[in-house]
Amino acid sequence: MKKEDCFYLGKIVSKYSFKGELLIKLDTDEPDLYENLDAMFVDLRNNLVPFFIETSQLHKSDLLRVRFEDVDTEADADALIACDIYLPLDLLPKLEGDKFYYHEIIGFKVTDINFGNVGIVISVNDSTAQALFEIDNNGTEILIPMHDAFIVKVDKPNKEIVLDTPEGLIDLYLNPS
């Protein structure tokens, strides 16, 4: 399994017991969807390795307590702390309407109803308070907040996003004088 075929589910943050149980901080709004998995992929030195789950249960709000097969000691568990967890893309719940997963819109053309062609989505920056579209416009990076009020339409079949941004926002990047 390759990372491109998977989505990031979370990170192993700590041991839970001396018997090899681990706590995974889930990166999801719906942690209960992932409580009864059979297996998951652990990123070990940039290789996705499948681990089969003996038991799992939600622990507090966004933590999943898991016990993997063949992880029976504290030393086994220590080796997995800080590793990222992935699942195959086909396990993502389907989204309706204009809702999308960030990985889905990479490569989408972005058009603004006032400005015209803005560029192509190269990534989404979600490390800020407001997630941002990172758009390439002939080598110039344009950052546009992913605000519901700016998104007019997400056309998945045609790989296009139509925005209505405040006047001058895009010009800030293209005419910085």
Domain count, the chain: 2
132 and 152 part of one domain: yes
Mean pLDDT computed over 92-103: 82
**In contact, 110 and 159? CB cutoff 8 Å:** no
* Rounded CA separation 39/83 (Å): 15
Q: Does the pLDDT of residue 148 top 80, yes or no?
A: yes
136 exposed, middle or buried (CB, 10 Å; 0-12, 13-18, 19+)?
Answer: middle
Is residue 47 in a domain? yes
Q: What is the CATH number of the domain that holds 7?
A: 2.40.30.60
**In contact, 63 and 23? CB cutoff 8 Å:** yes
Is residue 96 in a domain? no
13 and 32 part of one domain: yes
Mean pLDDT computed over 129-144: 94
**In contact, 80 and 42? CB cutoff 8 Å:** yes
SS3 (DSSP) at 102: helix
139 and 79 part of one domain: no
Is residue 135 in a domain? yes
SS3 (DSSP) at 154: strand
Residue 174's pLDDT is 87
The domain containing residue 53 runs over which residues?
3-91
Domain stops at, among 40, 71, 91: 91
Report the range of poorest mean pLDDT among 4-8, 67-71, 99-103.
99-103
Is residue 35 in a domain? yes
Q: Does the pLDDT of residue 78 top 90, yes or no?
A: yes
The pLDDT tens digits of the residues spanning 1-55 come to 888 889 999 999 999 987 889 999 998 878 888 989 999 999 999 999 999 999 9
Residue 8: both structure tokens together = 């990031």
Q: What is the CATH number of the domain that holds 162?
A: 2.30.30.240
Rounded to the nearest integer, the mean pLDDT of the chain is 91
Is residue 82 in a domain? yes
Residue 176's pLDDT is 73
| Dihedral sign computed on CA atoms, order 38, 43, 46, 49 | negative
